Amino acid sequence: MTFRWGVIGPGAIARRFSQGIAAIDDAAITAVASRSAERAQAFADEVGASTVYDSYDKLVADPDVDAVYVATPHPYHLNQASMALNAGKPVLCEKPLCVNGDQVDQLISCAKNNDVFLMEAMWTRCLPVMRKVKDWVDAGKIGEIKQVKASFGFNAALNPEGRLFSPELAGGSLLDVGVYVVALTQRFFPGAPKSIKATAEIGSTGVDEQCSMLLQYDSGALAIIDSAVRCQTDSTAFIFGSEGSIRIEGPFWCTTKATLRIGDNEEVFEQAHKANGFEYEAEEVARCVRAGEKESPLITHADSVQVMAIMDEVRKQISLSYPFELLAVKE
């Protein structure tokens, strides 16, 4: 049976997700919802979807949709994912799951109250190479982890209205790509860090154009991580342990190769994507939903809560809040 996806927000990432779906034999995008009927139709034609909606609420009521993929800018995730969950639809929601911890709590409560599946689309964790890296670490191959080092920076043209730079759209490097380096760290240190130190460059639109974070855990281990949207940084990630190290070939967020090094010995694990890497998160959602699971063990609700707690603290330290959050405080 084909697993039928409904897409909310047919933009840049939805297009890449559709390429992943195309590589899965028993999955298809069957319905598309946009704020504009023309955009929905154009995307549906591109991906072969049979049903289009000119509003998001119509799609969540479609009985022929097995799961909803929320692919809009971050500030809309809470409302749109909640709408789908309240309609009983399993949800794959783009990263970051929400803008702040309060929102993440609300969304997870909504999933639990409706007893419906919810997963943050932290696709990196579903990649075969990242699963192998986790296996190596869990098997103690590199001993005790001492350091995680990762960076995600790309050079975007400054567009004050675009979602990367607009405060109204929760712009900035931390929420857009910093979430990857925080999530990578949290994969290996699931608990709260004992200390977080962050500093950022706030650009002309008032959001962080680059952000550097130093996390320390109870064992003394460190995560040295950063994000940027105005410069390209090195995308290879490293995990250094007491007995060896792992190099995750860049870009680490869609990696196809990792190397385990212990002394002079190296073990390489390499696996090309079937499409572009988005197929693995889609397969994981279908697996969970078919098995009746309400969250994925690869990206649990607790993981999303912890990742957002770190990013909330980082934003506190770099004095970055969004206009809609200030309004919420005033109310």
Residues in contact with ligand NAP by the rule CB under 6 A? 9-13, 34-36, 39, 71-74, 76, 94-95, 121, 123, 163, 176
| Residue number with CB closer to ligand NAP (12 or 302) | 12
Query: Could you tell me how far CA 34 lies from the centroid of its own chain?
Result: 21
Q: Which residues contact 317 (CB under 8 A, 6 or more apart)?
A: 196, 197, 198, 199
| Rounded distance between C-alpha atoms, residue 163 and residue 12, angstroms | 12
| Residue number with CB closer to ligand NAP (97 or 116) | 97
Closest approach of Cβ 10 to ligand NAP, in Å? 5
| Residue number with CB closer to ligand NAP (245 or 303) | 303
Q: Is 286 helix (H, G, I), strand (E, B) or coil?
A: helix
Closest approach of Cβ 304 to ligand NAP, in Å? 13
CA distances from 329 to 52, 59, 96, 325 (A): 38, 32, 21, 6
Task: Say which residue the tokens 């998001």 belong to.
Answer: 56
Task: Say which residue the tokens 């105005």 belong to.
Answer: 230
| Residue number with CB closer to ligand NAP (9 or 241) | 9
Q: Which residues contact 76 (CB under 8 A, 6 or more apart)?
A: 9, 70
Q: Are 249 and 256 in contact (CB under 8 A)?
A: yes
Closest approach of Cβ 35 to ligand NAP, in Å? 4
Q: Which residues contact 21 (CB under 8 A, 6 or more apart)?
A: 5, 27, 28, 29, 47, 278, 279, 282
- Could you count the other beta carbons within 10 Å of the beta carbon of residue 161? 10
Give the bridge partners for 237, in sequence order: 248
Marked catalytic residue, from 89, 95, 141, 149: 95
| Residue number with CB closer to ligand NAP (27 or 126) | 126
- Could you count the other beta carbons within 10 Å of the beta carbon of residue 113? 10
Helix axes 179-188, 301-317, angle to 10 degrees: 130
Closest approach of Cβ 56 to ligand NAP, in Å? 7
How far apart are the two ends of the chain, measured CA to CA in Å?
48
Closest approach of Cβ 46 to ligand NAP, in Å? 13
| Residue number with CB closer to ligand NAP (152 or 217) | 152
Active site residue 89: no
Closest approach of Cβ 263 to ligand NAP, in Å? 35
With CB atoms as reference, the residue minimizing the distance to ligand NAP is: 11
Closest approach of Cβ 249 to ligand NAP, in Å? 17
| Residue number with CB closer to ligand NAP (137 or 307) | 307
Outline where DSSP puts E strands in the chain: 3-8, 27-33, 51-53, 67-70, 91-93, 118-120, 145-153, 195-202, 208-216, 222-228, 237-241, 245-248, 257-262, 265-270
Supply the residues annotated as catalytic.
Answer: 95
